[in-house]
Structure 1
Amino acid sequence: AALLTLTRNRGAATYAQTLHNIPETQVTTLDNGLRVASEESNQPTCTVGVWIGAGSRHEDEKNNGAGYFLEHLAFKGTKKRPCAAFEKEVESMGAHLNGYTSREQTAYYIKALSKDMPKVVELLADVVQNCALEESQIEKERGVILQELKEIDSNLADVTFDYLHATAFQGTALARTVEGTTENIKHLTRADLASYVDTHFKAPRMVLAAAGGISHKELVDAARQHFSGVSFTYKEDAVPILPRCRFTGSEIRARDDGLPVAHVALAVEGPGWADPDNVVLNVANAIMGRYDRTFGGGKNQSSRLATLAVEHNLCHSFQTFNTSYSDTGLFGFHFVSDPLSVDDMLYCAQGEWMRLCTSTTESEVKRAKNYLRNAMVAQLDGTTPVCENIGSHLLNYGRRIPLEEWDARIAVGMVREVCSKYIYDKCPAVAAVGPIEQLLDYNRIRSAMYWIRF
């Protein structure tokens, strides 16, 4: 017993030391408002990227998909470097390019050897400020994106989540997809893309983030040299205003009995990024867990819902999610099940939600908090995840929140109180695709969002 206690104490000390020994994130703001942030380490490689506060939420019905289109064109040449020259320059460094567009953010980043950091900064600045937008490349990528849209339509999980946003945030900017509609992609012009860049690619909405074997001073010097020309002013009539997106309890059902399995997603309105309740909802998600038939383990699952799923053959898989935006979010679960099991799986999942609000045990909460701590540390393994963490944090929170602070937030989280605030007796949004004849009427689903208790 004494040996086990010693081992546990040593592990706790190691975890605390790990949190304490993480390098400090240094942040410098340039004269034009662009923030430069980095975490220095002894890695032989580095990841440098530009995070921009612009996504499909900043688009309208006519140009929806412009940000995603630009992501495809970002590394296809600039005004200074034709496509072939740009690719040759990147390949000569052995670097890797990547980027993504979401509903509120756009990111372009490059992983390379640490010694090549100044060149990487120069390339990123060229991409952001001088993207060529050549007509030939636009037409080429138009065809690529249209093909991608067909592939997305065949991914029922993605379709279900897009439907969930469409019904939960109906009539608002968050209802639109990141990729845009087929009609928009067919008709977006070079002028539309250039206008999007001019409107949204402003220095105060950008973060140049870096992680790895780099010097913050050298990073700032390179940023001043190459990013000082990024505009920080708007035309008088072109200041983008981001209206609040309201949540509506509602549903979308796309019944197709020709499909083998049903996809169902259910969510309530969650908090925005900066709300401290976010951490507690992540603990709640860890209690519910996730499951897939390929996991193995039989009935010996850590999650009660996963155990029920195995014992009664309720689903092929389920996952929980807590998707946050600047002022709102979606907190819920998604499952894939056989047609005749949809009702039973939804009943059990909503039952678990009610248990989170009323009767979660201390041991469950403790296990979930430890799981979340472990996942939080594991996510920062490598320069690219660290760089992404820095960039997104500065956009979402205005600063990078250290792991020690996250750990403290996890420790004090009150699961029952927070879950009752967001889940109990709230109107959910429901999206379902496939053979969903057995899915209960919306009013029945709504009535399962509370328990009549005496």
Structure 2
Amino acid sequence: MSLVRPVPSPSIGQLPNGVRVIAIPMPWLDSVSLSVFVRAGSQHENARANGISHVVEHMAFKGTESRDCQRINLDAERLGGEVNAHTDKDHTAFHIHGLAQHAVPFLHMLADIVRYSNFPEAELERERQVILQEFAEDEDDPLSTAYKLFDRNCFGRHPLAQAVIGTRANIRRFTRADLLDYVHRHYTGANVVVAVAGNIDADVLRREAEIAFGTMPAGPVNSVAAPEWRGGLRERRQAGSSQSHVVLGFPLPSLAADDPAGELAAAVFGEGMSSPLLDELRERRGLVYHASCSADVLPAAGQFVIEASMAPEHLDPFFDAVAGLLLDHAAHIHPVSLERARNQLAVRSLRTHERPFRRLEEAVQQLCVQGRVRPRAEQLERLQAIGAGEVGAAFQRLLAQAPALAIVGKLKPGAGERFSARLAAAR
């Protein structure tokens, strides 16, 4: 007997121009969350355009054909709406959260921002300085720097390795004409999903979405070829740092592969304080003050990622411990660890379904990559069906590939090479 309470199924439709509409009923809420997802992110940029998706996201709120930036903010906030946006490697998204009774005007506000932003020249010069400050803050963060080096080790010159924020030179160079051209090419019906969750009437929202987005040009689907895994080591000394920050990883199947064993492997290895990674490195040996393990699975590729921060004298024992744990997990998965990881991922999945914006993002990813939105009960059932043999095989596949490793901060010569050599010898 299932303990999962049935929930209303999402309503999914598609307009003639390719725009898809997802409505997820959450009748227990008095609020509504609306998002417009555009399949345009840093992986869709060439090197000269790297960062433009993020600049477009910032500038979309600075004026449209009918409203200036002050009016854009006031229109939403006088109804209590909270407006936000984000840019990722594979998409850009624009959001409003507010009272369910205002769902229709909110939808048209987002349509105005996504479709009719005119990127005023004066606003671009002001916002350019804001983004450059954001870039400087990101550059000062050693762990962020480590992730940028790590992505380059993973994917080389493939666009998936590019930082979402772009480069300082590109941010300084982008013009209004560049932004308009980028939007014209990428913000098209085939790349847009309108998603709504809350106490809503799905039929009304679908009709309003057609009014708001139905005349959008269809355009081609943005697609990116899967990158080849490279692996390798990059180190960067950071002045003033007394710590070493490590990002280490291996390839996982992409979201298109629809294989959750890698995500479960990451949870077995490093989810929670009782996981082998945290228990051994922090609780028993005191080698790190921060460590985590996660599976970052995108439409084109996936990464099994271990990150940690520590005193530089702990780098060698840290790498020895991590190598030993990885090899142990390739040989044997403890039943208690598997039970813990399954239940932790089940709770995470349920929490996603309880959070409207996270639920929308998950649903849009599934729809765009797999062609459907997977029911909650099915997600939980397939998670429980993954056995120890499949998880162990996932670790074996990880270790068959060269690791990607980035170390930033205060360095200890040779530590990274010694770790890579140990894993190579084990292979």
TM-score past 0.5 threshold:
yes
Q: CA deviation at 1:199?
A: 0.8
Question: What TM-score do you get using the length of structure 1 for normalisation?
Answer: 0.89
Residue type of the partner of 1:22?
A: V
The one-letter code sitting in structure 1 at the alignment partner of 2:128 is R
Aligned to 1:287: 268
Q: Which residue of 2 aligns with 1:307?
A: 279
RMSD: 1.8
Q: Deviations along 1:371-414, whole A, 9 cap, x unmatched?
A: 11111112222322222222333223222112222112212222
2: CA distance, partners of 1:190 / 1:397: 35
Q: Tell me which residue corresponds to 2:19.
A: 34
SS of 2:102 mapped into structure 1: helix
Cα gap change, 1:412/1:276 in structure 2, threshold over 3 Å: closer, same or farther?
Answer: farther
* 1:246 alignment counterpart: 228
- Counterpart contact for 2:238–2:409, Cα < 8 Å: yes
Identity %: 26
1:442 aligns with 2:417: yes
Q: Structure 1 residue 356 and structure 2 residue 346: aligned?
A: no
CA distance in 2, matches of 1:185, 1:122: 30
Q: State the alpha-carbon separation in 1 of the partners of residues 377 and 223 from structure 2.
A: 35
The CA deviation string for residues 80-106 of structure 1, in whole angstroms up to 9 with x for no partner, is 112222222112111001111111111
- Aligned counterpart, 1:128: 114
Q: Distance in 2 between matches of 1:183 and 1:118?
A: 40
Distance 1:31 1:368, change over 3 A: same
Number of the residue aligned with 2:364: 391
Secondary structure, aligned partner of 1:132:
coil
Instruction: Mark the CA change 1:240 to 1:402 in structure 2 (over 3 Å): closer, same or farther.
Output: closer
Name the counterpart of 1:98.
84
Equivalent positions of 1:399-418 (< 5 A) are 399-413=372-386, 414-418=390-394
Q: In structure 1, what is the equivalent of residue 52 of structure 2?
A: 66
Instruction: Name the SS of the counterpart of 1:88 in structure 2.
Output: helix
C-alpha spacing 1:272/1:336, structure 2 compared with 1 (3 Å): same
Matched, 1:433 2:415: no
* C-alpha distance in structure 2 between counterparts of 1:167 and 1:159, whole Å: 13
Cα distance in 1 between the residues matched to 2:267 and 2:219: 43
C-alpha distance in structure 1 between counterparts of 2:286 and 2:124, whole Å: 48
Contact 1:163 1:431 in 2 (8 A): yes
CA contact (8 A) 1:95 1:111 kept: yes
Alignment equivalent of 1:264, drawn from 224, 239, 246: 246
Aligned residue number for residue 420 of structure 1: 396
From the superposition, tell whether residues 327 and 86 of structure 1 become closer, same or farther in structure 2 (CA, over 3 Å).
Answer: closer
When structure 1 is superposed on structure 2, of 143-152 and 112-121 the one drifting more is 112-121
Q: Is the 8 A contact 1:360 1:416 kept in 2?
A: yes
> 8 Å contact 1:390–1:400 — kept in the other structure?
yes
Deviation digits for residues 108-161 of structure 1, max 9, x if unmatched? 011111111111111111111100200011111100000001100111111111
Q: Deviations over 1:177-227 (max 9, x none)?
A: 101100000000011111110111111111100000111100111011110
Residue 371 (structure 1) aligns with: 344
Return the offset for 1:290.
4.8
Q: What are the Cα deviations for residues 18-45 of structure 1, in whole angstroms up to 9, with x where unaligned?
A: 3x41220110111111110111122111
**2-side partners of 1:194 and 1:356: how far apart?**
50
Residues 342-396 of structure 1, C-alpha deviations (whole Å, 9 max, x = no match):
1111211122111221111122112211111111112222322222222333223
Residue in 1 that maps onto 2:102 = 116
TM-score by length of 2: 0.94
Out of 304, 308, 311, the residue aligned to residue 338 of structure 1 is 311
Partner of 1:296: none
Bigger mean CA offset, 83-92 vs 27-36: 83-92
- Aligned 8 A contact 2:118 2:180 in 1: no
- How big is the shift at 1:257? 6.5
Structure 1 contact 255–437 (Cα < 8 Å) conserved: no
**Across the two proteins, how many residue pairs are aligned to each other?**
422
Write the distance in 2 (CA, Å) between the matches of 1:219 and 1:450. Answer: 58
Amino acid at match of 1:29: Q
Report the CA distance shift for 1:249/1:112 in structure 2 as closer, same or farther (over 3 A). same
Shift in CA distance, 166/124, structure 1 to aligned 2, threshold 3 Å: same
Query: What is the aligned partner in structure 2 of residue 276 from structure 1?
Result: 258
Partner of 1:23: 8
User: SS of the counterpart of 1:21?
Assistant: coil
C-alpha contact 1:340 1:438 (8 A) present in aligned 2: no
Structure 2 alignment gaps of length 5 or more: none
Output the amino acid matched with 1:361.
Answer: H
Query: Does 1:56 find its partner at 2:42?
Result: yes
Aligned residue number for residue 213 of structure 2: 227
User: Partner letter of residue 327 of structure 1?
Assistant: A
Give the secondary-structure state (helix, strand or coil) at the position aligned to 1:247: coil
Quote the offset at 1:450 in angstroms: 6.0
Distance 1:170 1:36, change over 3 A: same
